[in-house]
Amino acid sequence: MEKRVTFKGWLLPMCLLMPQIIITAVFFFYPAGQAIYQSLFIPDPFGLSMRWVGLGNFEYLLGDPYYRASFVTTAVFSLLVTVTSMGFALYLAVLADRLIKGSGVYRTLLIWPYAVAPAVAGVLWLFMFNTRVGVVSWYLGLLGYDWNHVLNEAEAMGLVVVASSWGRVSYNFLFFLAGLQAIPKSVIEAAAIDGARFWTRFRTIVFPLLSPTTFFLLVVNIVYAFFETFGVIHTITSGGPQQATTILVYKVFSDGFVSQDLGSSAAQSVILLVIVGALTIVQFKFIERRVHY
């Protein structure tokens, strides 16, 4: 797409672009280049010199059981967050779509958790499930269930998944509701006249027609679970117990800043870069398709 009418000159547009280009160069490209460069070296223990190791850091990482475990953790975590937040949002959106009046009121009541920072959501859920003072863990105790996410790996994972999904429901709800309202009512009525009950209509008509929205949300939620949930993990579990909730982004942080293992952290950054790149391409490919839909 090009504009037919443009202004002349090159100095002015260069000046207009400069602020963004300078910031991008200094805070995006230089650090990314630095990450790639550092990933090829191992600093000596005193930080005085760097030893060239080629792809040694990557070989080491891919053979490292902890790093592989972190990959699996990230996959499980993102899958659970995506399914939980999208499932609950779809349930609410289907209900809200059935209303003739008042879906706007529910929308207002449901969208604002989007504005709550993941880290704050983490603190709220930590408070409810705190092993000493948490209300939910106390009532679970009454029922004979001894909740302890500080020691139990599955419970820790469950808690970070729920805390990460909670605010995300708003976002998914908005897009699902918009998707549902865009489905022509005549199609659904035709099926209703033919005697299809609600569940049949949903399975055979509504859900297939909703698939562009669903695919879009799938990608966006995976990106969210990969990169934006750091605050939840850091506030609730700090990656524990026994690294059970150490997702890839958390590991870059803990290896780079806590253990100061710069070569490994840089190599992890590069691997993450490749993953973000792949996800971005998928997102764009898909959005192109959506336009043609």
Partner 1 sequence: MARILDEGMVEKRGIGHYFTHVGLIIGVLVIFFPIWLAFVASTVTQSDIISPPMPLWPGDQFLTNYSKALTSGINAPVALMLMNSLIMAMGIALGKILISLLSAFAIVYFKFPGRRLFFWLIFLTLMLPVEVRIVPTYEVVAGFGMLNSYSGLIFPLIASATATFLFRQFFMTVPDELAEAARVDGARPMRFFWDILLPMSRTNIAALFVILFIYGWNQYLWPLLITTDPSMNTIVMGIKQMFPSGDDYADWPVIMATSILAMLPPVIVVVSMQRLFIRGLVDSEK
Which residues between 253 and 292 bind partner 1 (CB under 8 A)? Answer: 253, 256-257, 262, 265-266, 269, 272-273, 276-277, 280, 287
50 binds partner 1 (CB under 8 A): no
Nearer Cβ to partner 1, position 58 or 114? 114
- Least separation, in Å, of the C-beta of 23 and partner 1? 4
* Contact yes or no for 32/273 (Cβ under 8 A): yes
**Residue of the chain from 202, 215, 227, 286 that contacts partner 1 (CB under 8 A):** 227
**Residue of the chain from 44, 64, 189, 288 that contacts partner 1 (CB under 8 A):** 189
Nearer Cβ to partner 1, position 17 or 55? 17
- Least separation, in Å, of the C-beta of 235 and partner 1? 5
- Least separation, in Å, of the C-beta of 3 and partner 1? 6
**Beta strands 41-43 and 50-52, pairing class:** antiparallel
* Contact yes or no for 241/156 (Cβ under 8 A): yes
**Residue of the chain from 60, 71, 106, 286 that contacts partner 1 (CB under 8 A):** 106
Q: End-to-end distance of the chain based on CA atoms, in angstroms?
A: 20
Any residues with CB less than 8 A from the CB of 234 and at least 6 apart, and which? 119, 122, 250, 253
DSSP string, 206-218: IHHHTHHHHHHHH
| Cis-peptide, bond into residue 241, ω within 30° of zero | yes
**Residue of the chain from 75, 76, 83, 124 that contacts partner 1 (CB under 8 A):** 124
Q: How many residues bind partner 1 (CB under 8 A)?
A: 101
CB atoms within 10 A of CB 85: 26
- Least separation, in Å, of the C-beta of 203 and partner 1? 15
- Least separation, in Å, of the C-beta of 197 and partner 1? 8
- Least separation, in Å, of the C-beta of 161 and partner 1? 15
3-state secondary structure of 63: helix
User: How far apart are alpha carbons 177 and 99 in whole angstroms?
Assistant: 11
Nearer Cβ to partner 1, position 31 or 208? 31
Any residues with CB less than 8 A from the CB of 73 and at least 6 apart, and which? 157, 243, 244, 245, 246, 247
**Residue of the chain from 140, 174, 183, 205 that contacts partner 1 (CB under 8 A):** 174
- Least separation, in Å, of the C-beta of 63 and partner 1? 22
Residues in 55-84 that interact with partner 1 by CB under 8 A: none
Class of residue 17 by CB neighbours under 10 A (exposed 0-12, middle 13-18, buried 19+): exposed
**Residue of the chain from 41, 125, 147, 176 that contacts partner 1 (CB under 8 A):** 125
Nearer Cβ to partner 1, position 69 or 192? 192
- Least separation, in Å, of the C-beta of 223 and partner 1? 9
* Contact yes or no for 167/113 (Cβ under 8 A): yes
Nearer Cβ to partner 1, position 151 or 178? 178
User: How far apart are alpha carbons 73 and 58 in whole angstroms?
Assistant: 19
**Residue of the chain from 55, 62, 99, 182 that contacts partner 1 (CB under 8 A):** 99
Residue closest to 149 by CA, chosen among 135, 170, 131: 131
